[in-house]
Amino acid sequence: MSKPSLGRSFVLMVGLALALMVTPAFADSQVRIVRLSNVEGTVQVDRNAGKGYENAFLNMPMVEGMKLATKDNGRAEVEFEDGSTLRITPKSSMEFTKLSLRDSGGRVSTLTLRTGQAYVNYLAKQKDDEFTLAFSNETVPLTRPVHFRLDVDPSDAVLSVFKGDLEVQSASGPVNLSKNNSATFDLLGGDKYTVAKNIEEDPYDAWDKQQVKYQQEYASKGSYSNYPYGYGVSDLNYYGSYSNIPGYGMMWQPYFTDVGWSPFADGAWMFYPGFGYTWVSAYPWGWMPYRYGSWSLVPGYGWMWAPGAFGGGWYTVPRLTNPPNRFPTPRPPQQGSGTVVVGRPVVTAGGPARRVLVQNGTAGLGIPRGTVSNLGKVSHEVQRSGFATVRTAPPARGMGMGSPGFGSSAAGSTRPSSGASHVSSGSTGGGHMSTGGGRTGGSSGGHSAPPGRPR
């Protein structure tokens, strides 16, 4: 058999190099990511990139070794692959000690609450998964569905179970807790504990319950259910809808888009040691459509996302199928490690607007999740009249409320619960949604222009 010529080998090598340049990066299948799914107020992360704590961005992938912290007005939520959630309240610090994947496919998650308050709603959907919450010298391995709160300060820790049951592995021996029971650990007295058959109510319980209700309500509302993962599904069902498009199959599209809208107009490139720059979307639904599947510009519809490519890893760069001519595809920075903002990420300050002006081209930006009922109906009104003014549901009783942001510095606290809304329409369209907080960019590492609009 003849050997390939040097010229042919060179051509093959060049072709391979070009293919690698245009193919979105696909992260190692053994590298797990979980989603920073809610950012309210001042939230910071340490990415193990040698930069210490930086402002957190909505939809950031959280990986093993990262740390998450909230300031006086900050709150955050993290979604795991099976839809389980972790929430932390102001003045809290959480470390993602272990996020790994066994050869068997089982996921291992170990989180350490250093200080502050955390809510955990563990769904236990995969029998091979291991989920452990640690604090001080104690660990809480979870094997069954359970919903609980943990408060840690330098002198003591209190664990309160809302639903289900669990066992705390303590230096003083195992502690079994069931629904409506709590345990207090004396961290300065040898971790001795006392068990109470009641739970003391906390001001942030209402916020946590609202988020749980939102996740449960919208997790199964969509017309597409073939997802192997649960993180981000509720937001897809709330902020958009599915259509079976001839020649394309089942496609998802956010509400409030027009022909000039691009899914890559607002976001940031963030650097992660080990796999480089990753695209982080500013949209409140912007998780799965940028980690899996692909985007297509569908004639007569605009940009739509096709679910898929869930096996073997996840994309660091969004994937496009047959993009239009002269459309600048998303490309990460070629050097450096600073965050590069694209477009105009949302930064909100103060409390939530009770009235929101919704316009085409906003794709849900500025609408806190669950605050407006039936966004599909509002979307039809916007398509017909150009814009709509929406009255959002009130915040939880007794709590202030901050709005989510992208690199947010919002002041305030709780999101409103799902509820009815009032809509009034107008006659002009275009532009971005206005929520009273303005839209400005802010980040370390500079800015870059948004991709061009399709022609």
Q: Of the ranges 105-119, 262-276, 293-307, 350-364, which one carries the lowest mean pLDDT score?
A: 350-364
pLDDT digits (tens, 9 = 90+) for 60-86: 999 999 999 999 999 999 999 999 999
Query: Are 345 and 442 within 8 A, CB to CB?
Result: yes
Q: Give, in degrees to the nearest 5, the angle at Cα 229 between 34 and 225.
A: 150
**Closest residue by Cα to residue 372 from 422, 326, 317:** 422
Q: pTM of this prediction?
A: 0.82
> What percent of the chain is predicted at pLDDT more than 70?
77
Residues, the chain: 455
**Closest residue by Cα to residue 425 from 393, 383, 381:** 381
**Closest residue by Cα to residue 404 from 4, 7, 73:** 73
Map tokens 């739970």 to a residue: 199
- Give residue 311's pLDDT: 79
What average pLDDT score do residues 207-220 get? 94
What average pLDDT score do residues 105-110 get? 94
Band of pLDDT at residue 353, cut at 50, 70 and 90? low
Sorted by where each begins, the domain ranges of the chain are 212-343
Confidence check: pLDDT of 308 > 60:
yes
- Give residue 30's pLDDT: 62
Amino acid at 271: F
Query: Are 64 and 44 within 8 A, CB to CB?
Result: no
Map tokens 């085409």 to a residue: 360
Q: Of the ranges 9-13, 57-61, 432-436, which one carries the lowest mean pLDDT score?
A: 432-436
Confidence check: pLDDT of 349 > 80:
no
Q: Is 209 exposed, middle or buried (0-12, 13-18, 19+ CB in 10 A)?
A: middle
Choice between 351 and 96, residue whose per-residue pLDDT is larger: 96
In terms of phi and psi (left: phi > 0; alpha: psi -120 to 50; beta: otherwise), the region of 336 is left
- Give residue 345's pLDDT: 60
59: how many CB neighbours lie within 10 A of its CB? Answer: 26
- Give residue 346's pLDDT: 53
pLDDT averaged over the chain? Answer: 82
Choice between 432 and 290, residue whose per-residue pLDDT is larger: 290
Query: Are 96 and 63 within 8 A, CB to CB?
Result: yes
Say how far apart CA 447 and CA 455 lie, in whole Å: 24
pLDDT digits (tens, 9 = 90+) for 392-432: 776 654 455 444 444 443 333 333 333 334 444 443 333 22
- Give residue 452's pLDDT: 34
> What percent of the chain is predicted at pLDDT more than 90?
59
Q: Give, in degrees to the nearest 5, the angle at Cα 41 between 35 and 42.
A: 85
- Give residue 224's pLDDT: 85
Map tokens 């599909």 to a residue: 376
Distances (CA, A) of 444 to 75, 105, 264, 402: 21, 37, 19, 23
